[in-house]
Structure 1
Amino acid sequence: MDTSMPAINNRSEDVILVSIEKKSGVINGIWPKEARLHGVAGKRCIGKKILSFLIPASKAVFKNAVSKKNKQPAGILQLEFCSKKLPDATYDCSIWNVRKQPLVLMIHRSASQSSQSSQKSQSHMPQPDELIAWEKAEKLVLAAENKFKRILEKMTTPIAVYEVHEPKRFVFINPKFTEWFGYTIEDIPTIDRWGQQAYRDEVHFRTLQKGWQAELKLVYHGEKYESRPFESKVYCKDGTIKELEFTFTTDENLVFVNFNDITERNSFLRALHENEKKFRDISEQLPIPICVFSDAGETKFVNNAFVDTFGYTRDDIPTHKEWLNKAYPNENYRNVVNAARENAISRPNHKTRSTLICQFEVNCKDGSKKHIEFSASKGNKNLYLVANDITGKVKAEQELKQSHRQLRELSSYLENIREEERKHISREIHDELGQQLTLLKLDLLQMSKKLPPEAKEMIEKMRQADLLLAETMRSVRKIATQLRPSILDNLGLVSALEWQSREFEKNFGIRCIFESLLYEPQFTTKQSNALFRIYQEALTNIARHASATQVDAVLSMEENRIVLEIRDNGKGFNPNDMAHKKTLGLKGMQERALMIDGDFHIDSTPGKGTYIQISIPILITNHEISQQ
């Protein structure tokens, strides 16, 4: 819209146009530029509200005329203007209201002048001077109308104006109309000709025309401010087709039609609908359950696999809330599901991750329960839910865990039996065989005392037999100790670990420092056996492979768990290389730790030694032991 639009002059014969913003009522243009709005220069009026130039009564008249609630057809308004420049005066005005364009207030002339002219015409014949003034006023009105047409011609959307009554001739089309459709006003002199040229299907055109004629009747009688939008395909002069949306308003004589090209919009919508159809077709063929919810929580789509998996159709779960209620009937578990979703959304990295993956147990329509892994993706307007039935996988994992647990229990049972057998054999060797060897040594001593001094050969044999017997007794004690150190049963784990450290240092020449930070520690038999054997195996590995010069071991307690730490300064190794080797020593230590519900951790770097940590729960207290 041209911003240089007219306003009211102080001369009664002037015709001015005022462009006004619809929402704010602010003047944004006046024509002609030199015009004065009731004595106020046009350039000073721009930016001010039109209501500031009207007296209160005229303000109400103006507001009612431009209100959408006004059902009366537009006509001539008499508005009384006021300003500091001139006394208050009344002018005949009319309002042009085109959809999506500013209001145009046309101020024709002073109402008093119009009244006086009417009275004069009734009392006497007009004089030559009066005729000249009248012609001059008519020229001004014509100039204003031409200027208004030029303004409409500059609009960026097609506008057409035709007569309300037959033959319904077009009285105006702007250049944008010709640019879009190719038709000039000579090509389409009437509405019927427009229908023949633009629609080329008389039945379709008459049906469409019937609809807009009914709407036009409502607008014409003031029941509506403007028509509802109509959509239609239109043939252009060059044969191309445009998809249009058009609306219209009317006064007593003319219909004003405003066009909007929706070809691109409809093309996008068709592409969107086609993509949705493809999505549905593909989704129906997929064996993976898929469900789509809208932002408002409405269930928009479920595929066949979803119905086959859960039994729920779209009618069974019309909303996301209904799906949650049926899939998770237990309120507490449903709250857990919602809390898990909220926590995932609130995570810092959620914005960078478009898919949320979680696992829940779902109640199906037939009452069965299935373990489902869900992948939820948030689109612009929809929530896409993809389900993966992992019931078989979960069941297999549970069975595998149960099998592992049973094997570990069996292994623990066998290990306990072996420890008991070792203890029994160690005691038998120590008590029975050791006692018999001691008696045999005493017998040899007694026999050697009874030999005569001259039986030197026999005395020498008896001495060699005594030495052999003493060596045999040492071997028996060593074997008994290796099978089961009696100190482990008599003095407990800490003393046994200290003894093992001294034996290791004595046998291999590697300094071994053991320290216990526990105050009167108590262990179950299983824990004592496992920790002692792990410590033995760790020292044996260090002696064989580490090339270490020192070993440090600490027994302590952290967060209600007992921790045994073993560190050496040997050559170390790469743990990844051990994965492909039969490292039965390391696997044995790990398995012994698992048997007592412990955690086994090993850390090693080539050239920087090895660190082993075993952490076990405290299963027994001193008070419990004292009650046994």
Structure 2
Amino acid sequence: MDTSMPVVNNRSLDVILVTIEKKSGVINGIWPKDARLHGVAGKRCIGKKIQSFLMPGSKAVFKNAISKKNKQPNDIIQLEFSTKKLPEATYDCSIWQARKQPLVLLVHKSVQHAAVNASSQHRASLPHIPQPDDLIEWEKAEKLVKAAENKFKRILEKITMPIAVYEVHEPKRFVFINCKFTEWFGYTIEDIPNIERWREQAYRDEVYFRQIQKGWQAELQRVYNGEKPESRPFESPVFCKDGSVKELEFTFTTDENLVFVTFNDITEKNCFLRALHENEKKFRNISEQLPIPICVFSEKGETRFLNNAFTETFGYTRDDIPTRKDWLSKAYPDENYRNMVLAARELLAQRPELKARTTLICQFEVTCKDGSKKHIEFSASSGEKNLYVVANDITGKVKAEQELKESHRQLRELSSYLENIREEERKHISREIHDELGQQLTLLKIDLMQMSKKLKPEEQEMIEKMKQADQLLAETMRSVRKIATQLRPSILDNLGLVSALEWQSREFEKNFGIRCVFESLLFEPQFSTKQSNALFRIYQEALTNIARHACATRVDAVLSQEANRIVLEIRDNGRGFNNDMTSKKTLGLKGMEERALMIDGDFRIESKPGEGTYIQISIPILITNQEISQQ
């Protein structure tokens, strides 16, 4: 009999082997197949818990026998079974356990039956001579046990990982190795009869072997004493019979005087880990040299890496921000702003056009360790287990942009101020020409009429000169009115923007022969002086460009209201152009855009060759009745 199997006493003809799941206690097999467990057929037992067959006192005995704290397991325990088939009976049982395998309960003949046999034998003659039937039953029982042992040997042989069993005490002989062990290492049990021979073959370096042996000997003592069910994993390289080397992880457990060792090949795993550590080392070296701040967070939010540039930029070390939560609380101390940052990131990540991207780019104001604030552009990308964040300090860029915007704002205000002055000057000059010069020309015409009346009929030459002077004076008066109107149409001041746009449309159609239709959809429109001036000048410039460049035959203009904005649309059927606002030939368009910006408006132009041009100006409704009364 193989010494690796546990010694079992009192085996008899009725020995039954029951395999049981350790954690649940569920029966998953009974041998022989036709066996009956206390009167219950084996098939009906499978799937039930072994505790359902035991009396309350025996449940505690069974639990103690399989407990990890049981430092001195007995070979034989007595369990009292009870089922509906048979009355209570006590059986001699033994338990065999192997690491990561179901435990096996060997049920022998009942104690009562053994006691009856003992009393009958006592009543017989004192020198008991075994009867032939007794010897036959004993041999059958031994065969059953031997068959069970062979079955479990076959089970160990089928396990896909190497298993070796050797003695705890000297001479520490190997009593069993499975086929997988020989397949992996090449050694048979004849090659390694004991631990010393295994050391010579598998390690070859005695100093190294003695060094690692100290660790597992201490662990073995704790397992053997029942302090823990199995050892922690140990790693070591092992020489195979063919001279190759495998990196192994092995664990062991004990059963009486035997040590059960299982092996796991971690050669590929260690190669991968070494490559990973090498790549991580390269990443750290490269990251440390980069002048750009880099931070790496784990999937659990732990801070895994900060490079020098990150600490120099923000002042925070890894101790200051051990987690991503700490970083957020310190970088954005204001809770409202922090919530806004988190919401903005979530919103940005959910945008359809950004979902396919692996990198998320956003800008926020960050509070540094010294209390200063910096504008940072973050680029965040997610790996399998880490979040990689690259920070770019754009404080100088943002400041320059703000200064540039402020400069543009000031220039626009200056331009608007100058435009208002220009409009006022035009209005003043227009009135002066219309009132002063027009009045003087009218008085001159009256004087000429009076002088012509005093001429005698025979003074034909003087009469002709007076007629020529009168005609020249009339043309001069028309020119004066035209100049005054071009400088500042009085209709704009007297009747408002809509009437001025209608008048300008009629003048354009009369002067250039191009059909121009203007329509206002506004009900009692109200505009500020700036808005009226800007929209009228934009409309004038648009019509001028159409007359000069479009070769159009029709112009349609609409003034309407959309929500809280006034919209002026101008469309022609001319030849169109490539919509390039940067060309030198589009200074008129630039001027219209600038006028729109002066009154907080939006300017849009669309044009394609052969498809005409569309211009839209949208301005906010800002004027109130009080402002109108003050104008």
TM-score (norm: length of structure 1): 0.91
Structure 2 CA distance for partners of 1:123 and 1:556, relative to 1, 3 Å: farther
Answer yes or no: is the 8 Å Cα contact 2:12–2:138 preserved in 1.
Answer: no
Equivalent residues in 2 for 1:116-515 (5 A)? 120=121, 124-129=127-132, 130-347=134-351, 352-515=356-519
User: Which residue identity lines up with residue 571 of structure 2 in the other structure?
Assistant: R
Answer yes or no: is the 8 Å Cα contact 1:516–1:555 preserved in 2.
Answer: yes
CA deviations 1:309-356 (Å, max 9, x no partner) are 122222222222322233223333223223323333455666533322
- Quote how far apart the aligned CAs of 1:258 are: 1.9
- Quote how far apart the aligned CAs of 1:429 are: 2.0
RMSD: 2.6
Answer yes or no: is the 8 Å Cα contact 1:14–1:140 preserved in 2.
Answer: no
**Matched residues in 2 for 1:319 and 1:294: separation?**
9
Partner-residue secondary structure (3-state), 1:367: coil
- Quote how far apart the aligned CAs of 1:189 are: 0.8
Answer yes or no: is the 8 Å Cα contact 2:61–2:79 preserved in 1.
Answer: yes
- Quote how far apart the aligned CAs of 1:546 are: 3.0
1:106 corresponds to 2:106: yes
Answer yes or no: is the 8 Å Cα contact 1:374–1:388 preserved in 2.
Answer: yes
User: Which residue identity lines up with residue 625 of structure 2 in the other structure?
Assistant: N
Q: Which residue of structure 2 lines up, in the alignment, with residue 609 of structure 1?
A: 612
CA deviations 1:43-69 (Å, max 9, x no partner) are 444444333443443333333333445
Structure 2 CA distance for partners of 1:74 and 1:479, relative to 1, 3 Å: farther
Answer yes or no: is the 8 Å Cα contact 2:12–2:141 preserved in 1.
Answer: no
CA deviations 1:274-318 (Å, max 9, x no partner) are 222111111111111001122333222110111121222222222
User: Which residue identity lines up with residue 100 of structure 2 in the other structure?
Assistant: K
Structure 2 CA distance for partners of 1:476 and 1:332, relative to 1, 3 Å: same
Structure 2 CA distance for partners of 1:522 and 1:136, relative to 1, 3 Å: closer
CA deviations 1:575-623 (Å, max 9, x no partner) are 25x5445112211111111111111112234444332221122332123
Partner-residue secondary structure (3-state), 2:389: strand
- Quote how far apart the aligned CAs of 1:116 are: 6.2
User: Which residue identity lines up with residue 57 of structure 1 in the other structure?
Assistant: G
Equivalent residues in 2 for 1:573-584 (5 A)? 573-576=577-580, 579-584=582-587
Answer yes or no: is the 8 Å Cα contact 2:528–2:628 preserved in 1.
Answer: no
User: Which residue identity lines up with residue 619 of structure 1 in the other structure?
Assistant: L
- Quote how far apart the aligned CAs of 1:123 are: 5.2
Calculate percent identity across the aligned residue pairs. 82
**Matched residues in 1 for 2:237 and 2:203: separation?**
7
- Quote how far apart the aligned CAs of 1:550 are: 3.1
567, 571, 588: which one aligns with 2:571 = 567
CA deviations 1:219-256 (Å, max 9, x no partner) are 32333222222222222111222222222222222222
- Quote how far apart the aligned CAs of 1:71 are: 4.3
TM-score (norm: length of structure 2): 0.90
592, 614, 617: which one aligns with 1:589 = 592
Answer yes or no: is the 8 Å Cα contact 2:12–2:137 preserved in 1.
Answer: no
Which stretch has the larger CA shift, 525-534 or 456-465? 456-465
- Quote how far apart the aligned CAs of 1:537 are: 1.1
Answer yes or no: is the 8 Å Cα contact 1:160–1:174 preserved in 2.
Answer: yes
**Matched residues in 2 for 1:74 and 1:297: separation?**
51
Q: Which residue of structure 2 lines up, in the alignment, with residue 6 of structure 1?
A: none
Partner-residue secondary structure (3-state), 1:223: coil
Answer yes or no: is the 8 Å Cα contact 1:12–1:110 preserved in 2.
Answer: no
Q: Which residue of structure 1 lines up, in the alignment, with residue 8 of structure 2?
A: none
Which stretch has the larger CA shift, 473-482 or 309-318? 309-318
- Quote how far apart the aligned CAs of 1:114 are: 5.3
Equivalent residues in 2 for 1:520-599 (5 A)? 520-576=524-580, 579-599=582-602
Aligned length: 617
Unpaired segments of 5 or more residues in structure 1? 1-10
**Matched residues in 1 for 2:116 and 2:219: separation?**
41
**Matched residues in 1 for 2:14 and 2:207: separation?**
49
Q: Which residue of structure 2 lines up, in the alignment, with residue 619 of structure 1?
A: 622
Q: Which residue of structure 1 lines up, in the alignment, with residue 520 of structure 2?
A: 516
Partner-residue secondary structure (3-state), 2:585: coil
Which stretch has the larger CA shift, 315-324 or 77-86? 77-86
Which stretch has the larger CA shift, 40-49 or 229-238? 40-49
Answer yes or no: is the 8 Å Cα contact 2:514–2:554 preserved in 1.
Answer: yes
Which stretch has the larger CA shift, 202-211 or 235-244? 202-211
Partner-residue secondary structure (3-state), 2:176: strand
1:21 corresponds to 2:21: yes
Partner-residue secondary structure (3-state), 2:369: coil
Partner-residue secondary structure (3-state), 1:296: coil
Structure 2 CA distance for partners of 1:271 and 1:390, relative to 1, 3 Å: same
Partner-residue secondary structure (3-state), 1:575: coil
Partner-residue secondary structure (3-state), 2:23: coil
**Matched residues in 1 for 2:127 and 2:556: separation?**
132
- Quote how far apart the aligned CAs of 1:151 are: 1.9
Answer yes or no: is the 8 Å Cα contact 1:71–1:225 preserved in 2.
Answer: no
Structure 2 CA distance for partners of 1:347 and 1:155, relative to 1, 3 Å: same
User: Which residue identity lines up with residue 614 of structure 2 in the other structure?
Assistant: Y
- Quote how far apart the aligned CAs of 1:386 are: 0.7
**Matched residues in 2 for 1:235 and 1:118: separation?**
57
Answer yes or no: is the 8 Å Cα contact 1:73–1:220 preserved in 2.
Answer: no
